[in-house]
């Protein structure tokens, strides 16, 4: 795509002695990044042509896009480039898992200030690729541009393996609500960082690199889950989407959640109710799903509530006091 | 995805009396936009869940990502929101066509200043959807976020219809180089706008909404094209990629290109060599392909040069004087 500015390419280096993205040029940086990537069996054609080609064995592809903006979804003094890569990949891979699909590929649009160190872009690529590799997926393509605002937009593709996608709209009264993964850890880590602390490490690391139970998505689909969602905006907010789409009420049991010691300590030190993190905090990318009551849940899935007739989401039968989640233009 | 800022959602309106994206909120804007979309037969599941599901009938999907940044790839005083939607879609759909594939779906990550009028976002969506509809593709998903820099990242998916992808690397000495679509029009239009003019309309409109010969991509694949590329950075620069990937030399005949009257007039008025636009200007998204000499080319494809032993790209047998294309960090 052409630029409005001039086409003069400078082979400069920035103050640190390392190359800036404007110094190395677009094709130089693409070369440095693609040299760091490796490709799983779903990558039929990787980067370097007009498009990648990815396997879609059952004749369908699940596809989802998420964008992270510097200063809004991450801060470079809180997260390394590699951390941001892990988080950006996780946000997208979790969306694929929440359909019951296995992720196959990522495509990445990266917008960078011209003076950004190329090492940052390389670290980001490493993080994206490493997170994708945990599920056998690969970074297969992308685009980059100069921009005043560092921005990472990722698209993930996935394989439904012959199953119907698990939608938000299938929950039925009588279903069991279950959770795979954890909630509140990343939000607690973010609060800790926001207040100027760097510990407890458990929480800060949870914010930096979510631990997503990807395999639990396809597992839930095989078990006959009636609905599923990636918990990215906060458990109650995201269950609100399931409730609305399915036309059911959902009640969450507060005592289904243990408050880990580090979270309890941090909550006390910061004067926060830890259940605000657990019930309304985003970014851990747990998976929430509903199952018919006859399904024997494996250890990855723990029951946290029930689906009933009605509308809305309650906690122990009552409306939740406090925020349910986040609005992206707030 | 959660935000570092507060979660307070204001239901405000901006000075013009219309809603701003921060006033309407993320979910409100998503609702307004998805209400404007319609879906082709490849859309098995559209927006509203964690991921979309798109048909991939032959068990593979072609996928490509391109990003447009305000002030760099477009200007809001030069292009309407709908124009930007058309251009963003065209850049991606052309990449899919250049593999010999038929586009099926777009996913869009949209980053917007909080005070942007929602009408801009809706116009963008209309342009994206309208351009996609010209090839039977649909906008099936996306994400949006506030950002200081208006940014549109688009991923396109496509169907190879059982054929191998047409790569950049397959050109062979003796092949005929042919072009579908036009070059130089968008670059001329951009130059016209840069100099403060709004006419000739032919050129300015070509910049605002590229006329891409999408169907010529699958057509070339069916005809046995040995290589193909989307001309987005400039004809000579993009042929340079084919030359390098294929290990061949490519010679372009200058007299294969007519200079249309409006372009000749604009070139004379602005003191520009029109062949700089034609040979080095991007953004028309013509398709360039190489064919074995025995192939009878249909009218969409006109011969513009030859492939020979050697390296590099020449014009009438000599190196081209002047720019070949654009670097995205220049």
Answer whether residue A326 shows pLDDT above 60: no
Which comes out higher in pLDDT, residue A320 or A243? A243
Q: Which of A256, A259, A205, A210 is nearest to A231 (CA)?
A: A210
CB contact under 8 A, B72 and A3: yes
Q: What is the pLDDT of residues B272-310, one digit of tens each?
A: 999 999 999 989 999 999 999 999 999 999 999 999 999
Answer whether residue A12 shows pLDDT above 80: no
Whether chain A has a CB inside 8 Å of the CB on B7: the answer is: yes
Answer whether residue A287 shows pLDDT above 50: yes
pLDDT of residue B1: 36
Of B6, B22, B64, the CB nearest to A52: B64
Residue B26's pLDDT band, with cuts at 50, 70 and 90, is confident
Interface of B with A in 143-202 (CB under 8 A): 143-149, 151, 153, 155-158, 160, 165, 167-169, 186-187, 190, 194
Averaged pLDDT for residues B113-117: 94
Question: Cα(B84)–Cα(B81) distance, rounded to whole angstroms?
Answer: 5
Contact assessment for residue A80 and residue A119, using Cβ atoms and an 8 Å cutoff: no
Average pLDDT of chain A?
92
pLDDT of residue A325: 64
Mutate which of A31, A145, A329 to test chain B, going by most B C-beta atoms within 10 A?
A329
Residue B35's pLDDT band, with cuts at 50, 70 and 90, is confident
Radius of gyration of chain A (CA): 21
pLDDT of residue B15: 44
Answer whether residue B215 shows pLDDT above 50: yes
Taking the alpha carbons at both ends of chain A, their separation in whole angstroms is: 33
The domains located in chain A, with CATH, are 21-159 (3.30.1330.10), 176-315 (3.90.650.10)
Averaged pLDDT for residues A176-200: 96
pLDDT of residue A324: 66
- Encoded tokens for A14: 């920035």
Chain A residues within an 8 Å CB radius of B61: 53-54, 56, 61, 157
ipTM over cut 0.90 = yes
Counting every residue written for chain A, the total comes to: 330
**Looking at residue A293, what DSSP letter applies?**
T
Answer whether residue B176 shows pLDDT above 80: yes
CB contact under 8 A, A4 and B190: yes
pLDDT of residue B120: 96
Counting every residue written for chain B, the total comes to: 330
Question: Cα(B97)–Cα(B159) distance, rounded to whole angstroms?
Answer: 9
For residue B15, the SS3 value is coil
Contact assessment for residue B228 and residue B98, using Cβ atoms and an 8 Å cutoff: yes
Whether chain B has a CB inside 8 Å of the CB on A108: the answer is: yes
Residue A22's pLDDT band, with cuts at 50, 70 and 90, is confident
Q: What is the pLDDT of residues A253-275, one digit of tens each?
A: 999 999 999 999 999 999 999 99
Average pLDDT of chain B?
92
For B289-309, letters b (16+ CB in 10 Å) and e give bbbeeebebeeebeebbbbee
Shortest Cα–Cα distance, A154 to chain B (Å): 8
pLDDT of residue B11: 37
Residue A31's pLDDT band, with cuts at 50, 70 and 90, is confident
Question: Cα(A258)–Cα(B155) distance, rounded to whole angstroms?
Answer: 40
DSSP track, A196-258:
T----HHHHHHHHS----TTHHHHHHHHT-SEEEEESS-HHHHHHHHHHHHT-EEEE-GGG--
Averaged pLDDT for residues A202-208: 96
Residue B325's pLDDT band, with cuts at 50, 70 and 90, is low
Question: Cα(B17)–Cα(B80) distance, rounded to whole angstroms?
Answer: 19
For residue B292, the SS3 value is coil
Alpha carbon of residue A323 to chain centroid: 21
Q: What is the pLDDT of residues A218-249, one digit of tens each?
A: 999 999 999 999 999 999 999 999 999 999 99
CB contact under 8 A, A53 and B62: yes
Q: What is the pLDDT of residues B216-247, one digit of tens each?
A: 999 999 999 999 999 999 999 999 999 999 99
**Looking at residue B282, what DSSP letter applies?**
-
Q: What is the pLDDT of residues B49-73, one digit of tens each?
A: 999 999 999 999 999 999 999 999 9
């Amino acid at each position: 795509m052409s630029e409005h500015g001039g086409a003069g390419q400078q082979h400069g280096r920035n103050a640190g002695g390392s190359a800036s993205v404007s110094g190395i040029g677009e094709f130089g940086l693409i070369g440095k990044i693609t040299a760091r990537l490796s490709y799983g069996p779903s990558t039929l054609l990787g980067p370097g042509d007009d498009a990648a080609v990815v396997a879609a064995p059952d004749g369908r592809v699940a596809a989802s896009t998420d964008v992270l903006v510097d200063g809004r979804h991450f801060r470079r003094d809180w997260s390394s480039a590699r951390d941001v890569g892990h988080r950006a990949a996780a946000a997208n891979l979790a969306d694929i898992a929440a359909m019951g699909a296995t992720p196959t590929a990522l495509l990445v649009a990266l917008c960078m200030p011209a003076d950004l160190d190329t090492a940052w872009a390389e670290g980001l690529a490493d993080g994206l690729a490493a997170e994708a590799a945990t599920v056998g997926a690969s970074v297969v393509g992308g685009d980059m541009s100069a921009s005043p605002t560092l921005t990472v937009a990722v698209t993930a593709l996935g394989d439904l393996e012959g199953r119907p996608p698990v939608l938000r709209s299938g929950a039925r009264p009588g279903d069991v609500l279950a959770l795979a993964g954890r909630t509140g850890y990343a939000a607690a880590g973010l609060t800790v960082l926001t207040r100027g602390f760097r510990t407890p490490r458990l929480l800060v690391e949870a914010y930096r690199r979510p631990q997503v139970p990807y395999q639990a998505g396809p597992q839930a689909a095989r078990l006959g889950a009636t609905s599923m969602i990636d918990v990215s905006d906060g458990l109650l907010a995201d269950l609100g989407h399931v409730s609305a789409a399915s036309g059911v009420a959902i009640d969450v049991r507060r005592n289904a959640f243990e408050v880990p010691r580090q979270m309890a300590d941090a909550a006390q030190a910061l004067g926060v109710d830890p259940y605000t993190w657990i019930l309304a905090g985003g970014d851990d990318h747990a998976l929430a799903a509903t199952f018919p009551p006859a399904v024997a849940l494996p250890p990855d899935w723990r029951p946290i509530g029930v689906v009933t007739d009605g509308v809305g989401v309650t906690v122990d039968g009552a409306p939740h006091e406090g925020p349910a989640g986040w609005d992206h233009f707030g």
